[in-house]
Amino acid sequence: MKFRLVVFAAILASGAGLFWWLNPTAAPAPEPVKAAAAPSPANPANKLADITPTPKPTAIAPPQAPPATLSTAPAADPAAPPAKKVDAQANLDTAIPDLATLLQTGDLVTAFENYTLPDDLAQIPPERIVEVEDQLRALVTNPQIQPRLQIISQMLDTFKAQTPTYNDTGDRATYQVPGLGGGGNGFSFQKVDGRWYISQNGMGQMQRVLGM
């Protein structure tokens, strides 16, 4: 059967060729249909190019603190020496109020250490100084001493309105205090190495008033 179909196809093919040879004006035989070429795969790069990138959301910056105000004050000089403490005993205008404050507050130990003449203080043995300071601390606790301390403080206040009398060398200043246990000799301060101290007669008057 297959053989007959092959022979029949060959006859048709030879007949068609013979027909076109005998009739050249006839329409040409149709060209065999070519299989359509498969579309080439799309270029991935082109697809990526066609994709419009999605814009990223704009980040919102956090609020910023206002810039710090620069100080116009001059910076401290690290090499500058520390401020020198004012010496109350450098002049009588500050020494007398300082002594009065120590007496009013009952700080007899500091008054003794600061206003006793250096030469007199140096002659007192250390153990005796300890005894004197203990006596002064105990003295302050005596209720009868407070009025006497006020008397001495008030006396020192009267010196503000006075002009002292100086000796020839200017290192001894005497204030007039009539009736203050000194027979009218006054109350004196003595200057040693640029600082004022209670003189020996002034210290004696204070001791008599305090009952020492």
Cβ-contact 211, 149 below 8 angstroms: no
Whether the per-residue pLDDT at 117 is higher than 70: the answer is yes
At 87, the pLDDT band (50, 70, 90 cuts) reads: very high
Report the pLDDT value the prediction gives residue 7, as an integer from 0 to 100: 40
Whether the per-residue pLDDT at 83 is higher than 90: the answer is no
Please provide the size of the chain in residues: 212
Report the pLDDT value the prediction gives residue 209, as an integer from 0 to 100: 83
Q: Which of 124, 96, 99 is nearest to 110 (CA)?
A: 99
Rounded distance between C-alpha atoms, residue 173 and residue 198, angstroms: 10
Structure tokens given for 119 = 């030469």
- Quick one: average pLDDT of 107-129? 94
Ranking 5-19, 109-123, 163-177 by mean pLDDT, the lowest is 5-19
Report the pLDDT value the prediction gives residue 127, as an integer from 0 to 100: 94
Could you read off the pLDDT of 22-60 as tens digits, one per residue?
A: 444 444 545 554 545 555 555 544 544 455 556 565 656
